[in-house]
Amino acid sequence: MKFGNFEILSIVENSFKIDGGAMYGVVPKIIWQKFNPPDHNNLVKLDINLLLIKTDGENILIDAGIGDALSERQKKMFGIEKRSDLEKKLSEYRLTPEDIHLVLLTHLHADHAGGVIKLDKDETKRPRFPNARHVVQFKEWEEAMHPDERTSATYFTSNLKILEEEKLLELIDGEDEVATGIKLTNTGGHTPGHQAVLIEDGDNKILWPGDIIPSTHHLRIPYVASVDLFPRETMEQKKKFLKMCSDDGWVLAFDHDLKVKLGKLEEKEGGIKVTDIFC
């Protein structure tokens, strides 16, 4: 899809499962099960959506998915049932991982950053995107390198360190324009170093809020995942983002929605209507 000077391509890297209560927080199951029915273990399915941006001769990837460098235990924990589709999808656009110049990681949880590492034929772990700068907030890197009892299962710390060892890591602090028309901003909320991506070319604007608004079902302010470390920060940031979309016409991208990948928001009586712009 052409979007100003950008070419925007949506990629479903894989899907995974998570406890429904973890995904919808304080919202009662009797409500959320109507739009995302759980299985017999109370797990709900989510897509892992990535965004590929082609601009000025550069290929930029937002998030990297969960990848294939998982142990059997990790696959079971995340409900992974198939291999990553990332390289297959890139090949459909006549690209390889070596053609990616920039990887923007909203945060370093496994379902967003696990895919930065691959397994060679000899089972050696190596960077999947050897020619790319991997841009992360300094706060997020510190969190991932020193996880506590609550966060240790969500970060593949030893894998992430490979980026630093291979000098592919770029740390920023706060707000930064990493390419023409593409800006990162620290949001907090989900994690201390969680960041959003803002893509802008004139009147063409896309907001990638990451796990601040992971799906269309999380547009309502109190719908905040219980895995968010600072839920009140998430709610405040969500209010700002929704106002941006309403007042300034930003398209909103969803990193875990099963149906809508990018949508335009319209306020209607009784709530917000989302129009899928990839339909």
Q: How far from chain centre, in Å, is Cα 10? A: 12
- Burial class from Cβ neighbours inside 10 Å (0-12, 13-18, 19+) for residue 83 reads exposed
Mean pLDDT, the chain, integer: 94
* pLDDT exceeds cutoff 70 at 278: no
Number of domains in the chain: 1
Type of residue at 270: G
Q: Sheet of 58-62: strands edge to edge?
A: 2-3, 6-19, 43-55, 58-62, 102-104, 133-137, 169-172
CB 195 within 8 A of CB 106: yes
In CATH, what number is assigned to the domain containing residue 222? 3.60.15.10
Query: What is the number of alpha carbons within 13 Å of residue 262 lying toward its C-beta?
Result: 20
Q: How many CB atoms lie within 10 A of CB 139?
A: 20
CB 252 within 8 A of CB 261: no
Helices 157-165 & 138-145 angle (0-180, nearest 10): 130
Tell me the per-residue pLDDT of 50-93, one tens digit each, with 9 for 90 and over. 999 999 889 999 999 999 999 999 999 999 999 999 999 999 99
Tell me the per-residue pLDDT of 182-216, one tens digit each, with 9 for 90 and over. 999 999 999 999 999 999 998 899 999 999 999 99
Burial 146-165 (b: 16+ CB within 10 A, else e): eeeeebeebbbeebbebbee
**Domain interval for residue 137:** 2-276
pLDDT of residue 269: 67
Percent of the residues in the chain that have a pLDDT greater than 70, as a whole number: 98
Tell me the per-residue pLDDT of 119-165, one tens digit each, with 9 for 90 and over. 988 889 999 999 999 999 999 999 999 999 999 989 999 999 999 99
